[in-house]
Amino acid sequence: MWQSSNEGYTWSQLFPGETFLAFYLHSYTNDRAYLITDSNKFYYTTDTGRHWSHLTAPTVPNTFGAQVLHFHPQSDYLIWTGNQDCEGRGENCHAEAHYSRDNGRKWMLVEKYVRNCAWARDSELKIDGSQILCESYRDKQGSQRFFQGDNPLQLVGGTRFFQKKTKLFDHVVGFAKFSEFLVVAEVGKLVLPAFGYCIDTPFYLVPSIAFIIRIAGVFRWKDLCGGKVPSKHASRDTRIHRS
């Protein structure tokens, strides 16, 4: 890892001998950055790289393709997703998420057997600052590397730093945040209102966007396949309600 403080005219190597897997700029604070090594040691700066320090994460970085660090508008709040029990044959290899409220000095477990955990709050979505959202596997045993469709991902929301958990969806593809919206893709039935009917959608095909959550409330696409299907002339407004 090399660093320049003069637009690339000169360079200095950071921590020779270390192997780095990822580099993260803090999403909400311009003066903070993080260097992720191949162990549970990570380096961080709080002054735009003038000085670097290191701390110990609860696990080694995950090898499941998940983002290792997630950030919060409260700068010291972090979520780390890493590997657990993956040495040797790894019969119970899985990803675990931990959170910190002091920039990584102390860590607390969020959830085991997860694909992704992130803070619900960001600069636009001003909801409970302690809330965490996790894509969490229903059955928490065995090797996560070999999970198939018979062990669905549930979307779980937890306030009080995940101490008070609520299952929001039984089988999701994923979720994403943008601006003041949270969009969740859920496996289920695909609604084709233009033709006036519904079809089953296997998990490996096209999922439907199930929820849009906004600060002002929760807007849900109606479960049209379980009830009245609108005519092909139905407007978009008739297919959305606030719960």
Say if pTM beats, i.e. exceeds, 0.75: yes
C-alpha distance from residue 61 to each of 1, 38, 173 (Å): 18, 7, 22
Q: What is the mean pLDDT of residues 29-56?
A: 97
Least Cα distance to 68 among 93, 46, 100 occurs for 100
The mean pLDDT value of the chain amounts to 82
Per-residue pLDDT of 174-232, as tens digits, reads 888 877 778 888 886 544 444 444 444 433 333 444 444 443 333 333 333 343 333 33
Highest mean pLDDT among 115-129, 154-168, 229-243: 154-168
Structure tokens at 171: 């089988």
Q: How many Å apart are CA 116 and CA 64, to the nearest integer? A: 10
Comparing 12 with 180, the larger pLDDT belongs to: 12
Spatial separation of the C-alpha atoms in residues 71 and 226, rounded to whole Å = 39
CA-to-CA separations, 63 to 33, 123, 146, in angstroms, rounded:
21, 29, 13
pLDDT at 189: 52
Domains of the chain, CATH where assigned: 2-170 (2.130.10.10), 187-243 (no CATH)
Q: Calculate the CA dihedral of residues 51, 72, 145, 93 and round it to 10 degrees.
A: 70
Amino acid at 82: G
Q: What pLDDT was estimated at residue 123?
A: 84
